[in-house]
Structure 1
C-alpha cells in the first residue's frame, strides 16, 4: 500500500492499528524491519520511525532495541481509568478538585508570580515540548507545569492540596495524553498550546484571562477523560 497524504507517519500508524484491530496482527507479533516497512508503504525510513514511536506512545507496540518492534497485549493497554483507584468516582472527584483548586491557583499566580516563577513554569513547558519532539507522553512535565503555577500563587495551602493528589493527577494526565494520541481528534500539540495560553496569561498578569484559560483547559481534559472511561 502506498501512502501519499500529509502527516505520513499518522497514515502509516493508522494502517498498523487497523491490522491490530482486525486481528491481522496479534500480541507478540514482530513487525518487519524499518527498511522493509519503508519499502512496503513507499515512504522514508524517518516516517516509519515516527509512526512506530507514535504507536509505542499509544501502547500498541513495544520497541526492543536490537530485537525489533512487537505488538503489545491490547487488553493491558486499554484506557481504563477505573484502574487508578478502582472507582470511576475517584476520577470524577479528582476532576472536581482540579476545577475548584486550579482555577483559583491560576488567578492568584497571575497576580503574585515573580520572574523566577515564570522561569519554572517555562521550564516545564520546555520539557513538555521536548517530550512531544521525542513522541513521549510528557505527563511528568505536565504535572511539573501545574505545580509550578501553584508555587507562583504564593498560597501554600493550595499547593499542598495539589501535592496531596499529585500521584493520581499524574496518572490521569498520562491516560489523557494516551487518549489524545489514540483518538487523533485532539493532538498532544493542541494540549501543549493550551498550556502556553495559560502561561502567557500568567506572564501578562491578567488574572481573569489566566482563570479563563485554565477553565477551558480543564473542561477539555474532563471531556476527553470522561468520554473515554472504560465501563464494564
Structure 2
C-alpha cells in the first residue's frame, strides 16, 4: 500500500482510527501485536510504536504494560460525533465568552492578586510543566490556571460565571491539545509558554501585558478549533 504526504505513523494512526469508527475495532478490544501490525501495514515496527503513542496521547487507546494495547472503553470528545455537535457558532460563542470573562479577570488579577494567588497560579504552571515532560495533555492544570486567575480577582461572581462554563471549556481545551499534538502544528510546550507569560505579567502587575498575552492565547485556541472543525 502506498503511504504519502503524511508521516507514516500519522497515516497508520488514521487507519487504526478508521477501523475503530467503522466498528472493525470496538471499545475494549486488544490491538494486534506490533510485529503483526508492522507486517499487516508493511511498515517498520518503529512506525507502529509511534502511531500507538500518538493514539495514546489522543486518549483513543491505552497501553497496559505486559499485556498490549487496547481500544479505550470510552472514546474522547471529538472522536466520533460529539465534537460535530459543537457547531462553529458554538465555538465562536464559547471563545467570545471566555475572552470577555478572562480578559476582565486577568486585568483585575494584576491589581488584586496576592502571594497566595500567585502561588496557586505557579502550582498550576508546575503541573503543566510536568505534562510537557511526560508528553501528556495537561488540560486539568490548564483549567486550574484559568480558574486561579478568576479567584485572584476577589470577585466570587466572576469565579461562578467562569465555573458555569467549566465543563465545556475543559473539553474544548482537551480537544485543542489533541489537535495540536497530533498535527504537530502546536505543542504542549508552546501552550505552557503562553501561560507562563500570562503568569509573569500578573506577577509584575502589568495589566496591558497580561491582557495582550491572554488574548493571544485565546485567539490561537479559537483559530485551531475553527480551522479543524468539520
Q: CA deviation at 1:53?
A: 3.9
Say if 1:26 and 1:71, in contact at 8 Å, map to a contact too. Answer: no
State the partner residue of 2:85: 86
Deviates more, 1:14-23 or 1:147-156: 14-23
**1:21 maps to which of 14, 17, 21:** 14
CA spacing shift, 1:158–1:22, aligned 2, 3 Å: closer
Q: Deviations over 1:157-195 (max 9, x none)?
A: 211110111111111011011111111011111011000
Equivalences, count: 207
CA distance in 2, matches of 1:71, 1:84: 19
Q: Does 1:30 align with 2:32?
A: yes
Q: Deviations over 1:113-168 (max 9, x none)?
A: 10110000000011111122222211111100000011111222211110111111
Q: Distance between the aligned counterparts of 1:214 and 1:130, measured in 2?
A: 22
What is aligned with 1:227? 227
Normalising by structure 1, we get a TM-score of 0.77
Partner of 2:136: 136
Structure 2: unaligned runs, 5 residues or longer: 1-5, 26-30, 39-43
Give the drift of 1:71: 6.3
Question: Equivalent residue of 2:34, what SS?
Answer: coil
TM-score, length-scaled by structure 2: 0.77
Partner of 1:184: 184
Which segments of 5 or more consecutive residues in structure 1 lack a partner in the other structure? 1-12
Q: CA RMSD in A?
A: 3.2
Alignment-derived partner of residue 207 in structure 1 = 207
Change (3 A) 1:82 1:32: closer
Q: Distance in 1 between matches of 2:123 and 2:64?
A: 31
